[in-house]
Structure formats: structure tokens, C-alpha cells
Amino acid sequence: MSTSKTKDKYQIAVVPGDGIGKEVMQAAISVLNELDIEFDYVYGDAGDECLEKTGTALPKETLEIIKNADACLFGAAGETAADVIVKIRQEMKMFANLRPVKSYPNTNALFENIDFMIVRENTEGLYIADQEKMTDDGAIAKRIITREAEERIIDYAFNYAKENNKGKVTAVHKANVLKKSDGLFKEIFYEVAERYPEIDTEDYYVDATAMYLITQPQTFEVIVTTNLFGDILSDEGAGLVGGLGLIPSANIGENAALFESVHGSAPDIAGQGIANPIAMMLSAIMMLRYIGENEAADKFDAAILKVLEEAKTLTKDLGGSASTMEVTEAIKNNL
């Protein structure tokens, strides 16, 4: 992620999607509008409602809007999520999936002082479309590890650590069993590490990591891993810090970046105005850091922290009774 302000005005693709996606997007944008940064929002349609209206869940125009923007904010899709978000990631070659795991006060976080970033390879590993095949007596899935993609993600993780004052990067793999593919991943990790002598390194097996995330989560700073392991560990991370209403994420490519809450369209609470907007707001903060607006990001982050610390204006998922917009107003008042 870049560290200094890059432009005077930013073009942001906004794809609210379905259900609470629309509600939390409106909330996040209303805070962005208080930050004294010029944003030019270009709205794109996608998701279940879009499919019903237009016959496609992800219109070409929406992809174009995302392509032409400095960054994209994405709310949530419903049943069409796979056709929308997975397709956007592929089309835009968003190779890095970033999931911060951070404990905030007055949440269901299991521990205090957790603050690490999971950097997950997003294009290969076990998750390649059409690589699964039925055989005579079962099925086979292929796991692909290329030097190019793994070096790119590992370098991204080290660079992230460097730019964000993190002192250590942990590689997670299973090289004792997957000797060739994860053997290569581990080898590349230590090659790339030589370019970052100021950053400490360690590597763990994925099964051990699953345990360490529970027994010593505060010791992690940046985790870099392959696609499937990253998928599983990042949900474990979400469980550690308690609740979908608080978990943001980023998908980063060479020329495109998309920031989304991890939760879906939540049909059970959609339309009631009670969704927690903080996951979407934290995603917007990741976007601010990506475009180099770090000061605004810090300010926004501090305002959210204050509202959580005070614990007076919280949505139902955090044990409160405030509405989406009441939480949003409280955050704005703390800017």
C-alpha cells in the first residue's frame, strides 16, 4: 500500500450490491464525505437485484467503472456473490487478499491487543476454476504453486510489513507433507526475506498456526500464506476478534483494488436499518491507506475506536440497540 497522498481528487467505484450492503455503504460514504478529501463516486450495479433487473449479476459497465477508478468500495452481494465478487477479483487480477485481525474494545474479541494482517494469495493454490475433475473412482483437485505468483504475494507481505512498521513476517505452509509445492513456497519466502533484512521471519506449519492463533495470537504481525490456508485462517481470525460486523478486507491487484466488508447481504436483518456499519467503514479506511490518505484514515479509525470505547452507541450485534445511522452519526461526531 502506498504511504503518501497521491492525488487531489479520487475516482471511487461504489458497488453497494444487495441487502445490508446498501445500508452500510451509505453509512461509510457519509463519513468519507466529512474528511475534506475530494471523491468522485461512480456507482455500479451488481448482485441479486441487478440480476433480476438486467439479466446479469455483474454488468460489463460495472467492471468498466471499477477498471477506471482509483479504488472500489464493495458492499455485499446475495446469492450471486460467487458470480460477482469472485469474478471481479479474477477479471482485475487482484492477487492479494488482505484480512486484518484486530481486537477492539467492547466487542466479542477473545483477547486484547491482537493486531495482525493476513496476506493471502488469491489466484492459485487449490482454488482454480475448472481444475477439479471427476475420475472413475472419485475426484481429483490440483494444487498449483507458481514461483511468479508466490514471489509476488510474499514480496507484497514484506513490503506491507515495511510500510506499516511491522517487525515480523510469518510464512504459513505444510512443507513437511506437501514437500514440492509448499517446499517451493518456503524456499521463495526465505529468498524474498533477504531483500528485507530489517524484518524478522519465521515459518510455521498451518496446523500448528491454527493452534497458535488461539494460544498466542498477540505474537503475530503479518502472516503470508497460500490461497486455501489463508481462507481458513482468516475466518479463524474473524472468530478471534468477534463478529462479522467488524471485519474489513481488501483485494489488491497491480492496477486495481477493491475494499469490502467480509459479511454478506444479511437478509435476516436487511431493510431494518440495524446493520453494523463498522466493517464497511474499516474497509473504507483500508482504501484511504491504499490511496495514501493516511491522516484521514487515522482520524476515521480513532473516531470508530472512541465509539467502541464509550460503548454508548452500538448496534445489536455488539449488544447495543442503536441503528446504523445512529452509530454513523456518533462516529461523525467523534471525527
- Least CB distance from residue 203 to ligand NAI, whole Å? 30
Q: Which does 268 bind (CB under 5 to 8 A by kind): Mg ion, ligand NAI, none?
A: ligand NAI
For residue 266, state whether it binds ligand NAI (rule: CB under 6 A): yes
- Least CB distance from residue 139 to ligand NAI, whole Å? 24
Residue 178 or 244: the one with the smaller Cβ distance to ligand NAI is 244
Binding mask 183-222 for Mg ion (x = CB under 5 A): ----------------------------------------
For residue 1, state whether it binds ligand NAI (rule: CB under 6 A): no
For residue 275, state whether it binds ligand NAI (rule: CB under 6 A): yes
Among 25, 58, 72, 78, binds ligand NAI (CB under 6 A): 78
Q: Which does 293 bind (CB under 5 to 8 A by kind): ligand NAI, Mg ion, none?
A: none
Cβ-count burial of 87 within 10 angstroms (0-12 exposed, 13-18 middle, 19+ buried)?
middle
Question: How many residues belong to the site for ligand NAI (CB under 6 A)?
Answer: 23
Residue 37 or 305: the one with the smaller Cβ distance to ligand NAI is 305
Structural contact between residues 326 and 320, judged by C-beta atoms closer than 8 angstroms: no
Q: Which of residues 311-330 bind ligand NAI (CB under 6 A)?
A: 315, 317
Q: Segment near ligand NAI (CB under 6 A), from 60-68, 103-111, 231-239, 271-279?
A: 271-279
CA 230 to chain centre: 12
Query: Residue 86 gets which letter from DSSP?
Result: I
Structural contact between residues 254 and 93, judged by C-beta atoms closer than 8 angstroms: yes
Among 32, 85, 188, 314, binds ligand NAI (CB under 6 A): 85
Residues comprising the chain, all counted: 335
Question: How many residues belong to the site for Mg ion (CB under 5 A)?
Answer: 1
Q: Which does 231 bind (CB under 5 to 8 A by kind): Mg ion, ligand NAI, none?
A: Mg ion
Among 48, 49, 231, 260, binds Mg ion (CB under 5 A): 231
- Least CB distance from residue 128 to Mg ion, whole Å? 16
Specify which residues 132 forms β-bridges with.
Answer: 141
Judged by the rule CB under 6 A, the positions of this chain that interact with ligand NAI are 20, 24, 76-79, 81, 85, 244-245, 260, 263-269, 275-276, 279, 315, 317
Judged by the rule CB under 5 A, the positions of this chain that interact with Mg ion are 231
